[in-house]
Amino acid sequence: MALYTAGEFHAAHDPWEAVWLDLKDAVAAGDAADTAVRDEALFHGLIQFTAAQHHARDRNWSGAVGLAESGREYLAEVPDDHRGVDVAGARDALVRLRADPEGVERGPAPPLRYEGGRIAPESLSLAAAGLAAEALAEEHGLDADAVADAARFAREEERAGRSQFAALLFDLIRVDTPQERRLVYDRLSGLVEQERRKEADVEGLF
């Protein structure tokens, strides 16, 4: 949701997709409880919600309308505040988008609220920030493997009480312009290379 709040509508669905696919498989196998069935519908609907916003801003009106309709259908039976998500607000936004897709050019994207507010990057857990940063890297043609390694190093730092990698991961999500993103990424990837060399040196001793 932090990526959606930042206007990264296409990248926003990526961290949800793996969760949704696992839930989908469980539901298809008949192994899912009622809550998991609602979770599967929620994630599927949110993926469609963000994709609809992305297509609308690319002026793909037919794609936006189709996704708005399918997203609304997936969310139709999900409780209004399931898992703290403002599902009712998302459904209403999809209805408006379906009726007037060109309306996106006249105002900001509808909010996607969690527990009454918007999710900002700084409110993410380290694990969630790593997933968000990796999705952003893939979206903007950066090396997602380097970002994934940065997230791994950040977790190791967290156990040691340090935060250099974590700070840069959060910065990568937080910055507003491609130039700023590239500067943060270049610093982050440089540190990743240093840590990779240290690991290789240690492995070479054994």
C-alpha gyration radius of the chain:
19
In the chain, where are the structural domains located?
Answer: 2-106, 121-204
So what's the pLDDT on residue 132?
93
Taking all residues of the chain, what is their mean pLDDT, rounded to a whole number?
91
* pLDDT band at 51; cut points 50, 70, 90: very high
Read off the pLDDT of residues 133-147 as tens digits, 9 standing for 90 and up: 999 999 999 999 999
Phi, psi of 85 (to 5 degrees): -85, 140
So what's the pLDDT on residue 206?
62
Query: What would the mean pLDDT of 115-123 be, rounded to a whole number?
Result: 87
Structure-model confidence comparison of residues 31 and 54, the more confident one = 54
List of residues 6+ apart from 170 with CB closer than 8 A: 121, 122, 124, 129
So what's the pLDDT on residue 197?
93
Distance CA 112, CA 15 (A): 16
Query: What would the mean pLDDT of 58-85 be, rounded to a whole number?
Result: 95
Q: Which homologous superfamily does the CATH classification assign to the domain defined by 2-106? A: TTHA0068-like (1.10.3450.10)
So what's the pLDDT on residue 36?
86
User: Is 65 a residue whose pLDDT tops 70?
Assistant: yes
* pLDDT band at 114; cut points 50, 70, 90: very high
User: Is 201 a residue whose pLDDT tops 90?
Assistant: no
Query: What would the mean pLDDT of 154-172 be, rounded to a whole number?
Result: 90
* Count of other CB atoms within 10 angstroms of residue 21: 13
